[in-house]
Amino acid sequence: MTNTNNVTPSRRKFLTNITLAGMAMAGTSVTQIYAATPKYHKKEDLRKGMVFLFQGDSITDGNRGRTADPNHIMGHGYAFSVASRLGADYPEKELMFYNRGISGNKVDDLAARWQKDTLDLKPDVLSILIGVNDVNGALSNKGATLEQFENVYASILDRTLAEFPKIIFVLCHPFVLPVGGVKGKIDLWNKEIHDRQVIIEKLALRYNAVLVDFQKVMTKACLKAPAAYWMWDGIHPTVPGHELLAREWMLQVGKRIRF
């Protein structure tokens, strides 16, 4: 348990402000509704040859290789950490891991390449982390509206479910911390990120998906170290930050799949 007596007043104020802002914007929290809803009847076992696909933007991309070179294929972020652990722990399952994150992508970009980079890979588990570039676009009046974001996101889930009715969706919250260029506009970033988090929570309920609340993890981490320790520019995690994402992904997906 964290000793909050060691938290500086400025960091305590930051965490309190995030909590109060979220309550004010959300009213009745969709997360509370999600947490109270029974999502899974039972855990599923890992099956031999199971395919895990990570989709998203630069946070997932992790400077991954674009060839079949297995030394670089998963990039250097949370997707790499998850794949390395599961692959090492269950070699007899011959699990397959793909990373198809592309830096700068918005939800529209995912939709445009969905056939080649998702459906053609026939995933059993599909993890999606998208939204921070949509927020950046919205702040410069160049991004999709919230309605468009939700509709496009739902459309790619529908396309996937139509082909793979037994697929397990893992929907991850986009997230930010007040570092770098984000810090000066943190209130705007928080509102736009929060609006998309609520949409993702609604979709998680609708599609019986695993929900991974990366924002909560990163915010809580600021009790132990400053925000810049976990995210170097307010958008992209550091090495320790990616480790936190991987741990939370494993924790939440582990409630659905028996690891």
- Confidence class of residue 7 from pLDDT cuts 50, 70 and 90? low
Q: Would residue 149 count as lying in a domain?
A: yes
40-72, pLDDT tens digit by residue?
A: 557 999 999 999 999 999 999 999 999 999 999
Q: Would residue 84 count as lying in a domain?
A: yes
Q: Would residue 43 count as lying in a domain?
A: no
Predicted local confidence at residue 177, as pLDDT: 98
Look at the chain and report how many structural domains it folds into. Answer: 1
15-32, pLDDT tens digit by residue?
A: 545 544 443 444 444 555
Range of the domain at 156: 4-37+48-258
Q: Note whether 125 and 167 are within 8 A (CB).
A: yes
76-104, pLDDT tens digit by residue?
A: 999 999 999 999 999 999 999 999 999 99
Q: Would residue 240 count as lying in a domain?
A: yes
- Confidence class of residue 164 from pLDDT cuts 50, 70 and 90? very high
Q: Would residue 21 count as lying in a domain?
A: yes
Q: Would residue 42 count as lying in a domain?
A: no
Residue 181 burial (C-beta neighbours within 10 Å; 0-12, 13-18, 19+)? exposed
* Verdict on whether the full-model pTM lies above 0.95: no
Q: Would residue 245 count as lying in a domain?
A: yes
Mean pLDDT across the stretch 190-209? 98
105-129, pLDDT tens digit by residue?
A: 999 999 999 999 999 999 999 999 9
What is the CATH number for 79? 3.40.50.1110
User: What DSSP string describes 48-89?
Assistant: TT-EEEEEESHHHHTT--SSS-TTTTTTTSHHHHHHHHHHHH
Q: 3-state DSSP: the chain helix, strand, coil percent, rounded to 5?
A: 55, 10, 35
From 30-39, 49-58, 182-191, the region with the lowest mean pLDDT: 30-39
Check the CA dihedral 78-100-47-153 and report its sign: positive
